[in-house]
């Protein structure tokens, strides 16, 4: 009996520390797993108070190398410390926003981007918001100091390879003065192109018979001219809703080489939908306004959230997976928000997709105007339906941890002309009309061109 008792005691003695150690171990592990995503050292805080927002945006727009150097370090740190089993933000391929005829004209499927310089823009700010390789941006701006002199309203364009390395950059200083920068080996080479065509006005008028794209082409307009028109009036008019018998009148300046033309600039367009007239008139700042100099644009929210949020993973289309060494683009921004946080639409628009989709989990895609699309992933709940019209700031869902996600967060993407851009630094549309001297000049110019936008040739006088 005694022997049995002693062995029982021995067993108990052994059992007790074993269970305790296991429990403590499990607690430590769970604590580590729960705590890890909240560790501030891995992440950057972007407070949502308006004052700080401005500071952050201004930082990105600093032309100096110093401003960029800081940003590079932060981004690198985020990407290096990312887990290999990092959350995936890919909806199923069939759940992409379906392109219609107008998208086909607007979206550039090649790796080129066209851009109009806005107030406050710097070259490095513009290129990095599109995820262009920062080393190339640094090299280009270091080699050619004149690129700090971009003017408001000027057109620039660039092409990148599949890894977002800059291949070439075009700067249209004026219609007859174009600078082209091409990457040759490890340097950029500048070429100056002086155009010799003659700029002539082109006036086209037509009636809608089938749809705007087809009918505008019948009147001799090119795809890129049609794209400019649909972009200029994207917030006013849904071009798909134009009806048979609606009218359009377009005034364009084209560079003519004999009978051929390559380059053109849309000066003015008027579209009559039923009894309503829509105008888009080019101003000196390179943007289009209504005939009174009023804005044609819509404001956006910078963040799809009402409260402060931490960015746990930044925008990085060149992100390298530390284990596989493969590029696994992060085309959006992750906000570390707890499950159930209201998610807001950043702008007015139409819900294109609202469903569970593969690694993206509960997923919403919204189209804003013609040029902008936003995507929201890993939601706990979807509160909208496909086809629904929504306003800026509308609650569309609750954030969560669905799909392939390693913790509660909101993955948010912004696309301009079908290309992913950094939502934190992107140039969002601003609804500001012309004022003062620029408005006066604009109204004087409009008076001169207004007669050319009449529909006289379409409706014989009665």
Find out whether 381 and 430 touch, Cβ atoms under 8 Å. no
Closer to Zn ion at the Cβ: 88 or 113?
88
Find out whether 153 and 285 touch, Cβ atoms under 8 Å. yes
Closer to Zn ion at the Cβ: 42 or 287?
42
CB of 359 to Zn ion, least distance (A): 10
CB of 313 to Zn ion, least distance (A): 5
Q: How far apart are CA 339 and CA 362, in angstroms?
A: 13
Task: Enumerate the H helices of 62-196 as residue ranges.
Answer: 65-80, 101-106, 123-129, 134-143
Other residues' Cβ atoms within 10 Å of the Cβ of residue 198: 11
Torsion sign, CA atoms 79, 82, 84, 87: negative
Question: In the window 399-438, what residues touch Zn ion (CB under 5 A)?
Answer: 411
Closer to Zn ion at the Cβ: 89 or 255?
89
Between helix 65-80 and helix 134-143 the angle, nearest 10°, is 170
Closer to Zn ion at the Cβ: 86 or 121?
86
Write the DSSP symbol of residue 90.
-
CB of 335 to Zn ion, least distance (A): 9
# chain residues binding Zn ion, by CB under 5 A? 3
Closer to Zn ion at the Cβ: 205 or 341?
341
Selected range binding Zn ion among 88-96, 175-183, 339-347, 448-456, rule: CB under 5 A: 88-96
Selected range binding Zn ion among 81-89, 165-173, 247-255, 422-430, rule: CB under 5 A: 81-89
Closer to Zn ion at the Cβ: 61 or 87?
87
Q: Which residue is nearest to Zn ion (CB)?
A: 411
Among 121, 246, 290, 334, binds Zn ion (CB under 5 A): 334
Q: Within 13 Å and on the Cβ side, how many CA atoms surround 22?
A: 6
Burial, 19: exposed, middle or buried (Cβ in 10 Å; 0-12, 13-18, 19+)? exposed
Q: Is 134 in the site for Zn ion (CB under 5 A)?
A: no
Q: Is 291 in the site for Zn ion (CB under 5 A)?
A: no
Selected range binding Zn ion among 85-93, 100-108, 129-137, 429-437, rule: CB under 5 A: 85-93
381-398 burial: b if 16+ Cβ within 10 Å, else e:
ebebeeeeebeeebebbb
Q: Which residues bind Zn ion (CB under 5 A)?
A: 89, 334, 411
């Amino acid at each position: 009996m005694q022997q049995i008792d002693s062995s029982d005691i021995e067993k108990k003695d052994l059992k007790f520390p074993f269970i305790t150690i296991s429990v403590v171990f499990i607690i430590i592990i769970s604590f580590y797993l729960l705590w890890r995503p909240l560790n501030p050292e891995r992440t950057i805080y972007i407070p949502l108070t308006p004052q700080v927002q401005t500071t952050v945006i201004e930082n990105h727009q600093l032309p100096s190398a110093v401003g960029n150097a800081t940003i590079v370090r932060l981004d690198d740190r985020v990407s290096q410390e990312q887990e290999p089993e990092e959350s995936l933000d890919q909806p199923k391929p069939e759940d992409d926003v379906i392109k219609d005829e107008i998208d086909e004209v607007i979206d550039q499927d090649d790796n080129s981007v066209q851009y109009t310089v806005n107030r406050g823009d710097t070259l490095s700010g513009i290129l990095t918001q599109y995820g262009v390789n920062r080393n190339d941006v640094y090299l280009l701006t270091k080699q050619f100091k004149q690129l700090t002199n971009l003017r408001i309203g000027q057109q620039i364009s660039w092409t990148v390879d599949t890894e977002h390395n800059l291949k070439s950059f075009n700067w249209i200083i004026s219609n007859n003065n174009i600078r082209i920068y091409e990457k040759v080996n490890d340097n950029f080479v500048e070429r100056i192109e002086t155009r010799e065509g003659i700029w002539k006005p082109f006036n086209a008028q037509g009636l809608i018979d089938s749809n705007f794209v087809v009918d505008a082409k019948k009147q001799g307009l090119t795809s890129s001219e049609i794209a400019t028109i649909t972009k200029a009036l994207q917030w006013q008019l849904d071009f798909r809703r134009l009806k048979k018998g609606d009218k359009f009148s377009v005034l364009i300046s084209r560079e003519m080489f004999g009978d051929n033309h390559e380059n053109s600039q849309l000066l003015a367009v008027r579209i009559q939908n039923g009894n309503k007239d829509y105008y888009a008139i080019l101003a000196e700042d390179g943007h289009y306004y209504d005939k009174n100099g009023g804005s044609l644009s819509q404001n956006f929210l910078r963040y799809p959230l009402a409260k402060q949020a931490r960015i746990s993973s930044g925008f990085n289309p060149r992100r390298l997976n530390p284990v596989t060494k493969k590029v696994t683009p992060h085309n959006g921004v992750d906000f570390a928000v707890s499950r159930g946080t209201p998610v807001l639409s950043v702008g007015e628009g139409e819900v294109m997709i609202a469903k569970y989709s593969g690694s993206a989990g509960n997923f919403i895609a919204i189209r804003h105007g013609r040029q902008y699309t936003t995507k929201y992933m890993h939601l706990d709940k979807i509160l909208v339906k496909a086809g629904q019209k929504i306003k800026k700031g509308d609650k569309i869902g609750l954030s969560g941890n669905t799909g392939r996600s390693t913790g509660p967060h909101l993955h948010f993407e912004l696309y301009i002309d079908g290309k992913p851009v950094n939502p934190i630094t992107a140039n969002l549309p601003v609804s500001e009309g012309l004022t003062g001297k620029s408005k006066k000049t604009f109204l004087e110019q409009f008076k001169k061109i207004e007669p050319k936008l009449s529909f006289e040739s379409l409706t014989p006088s009665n």
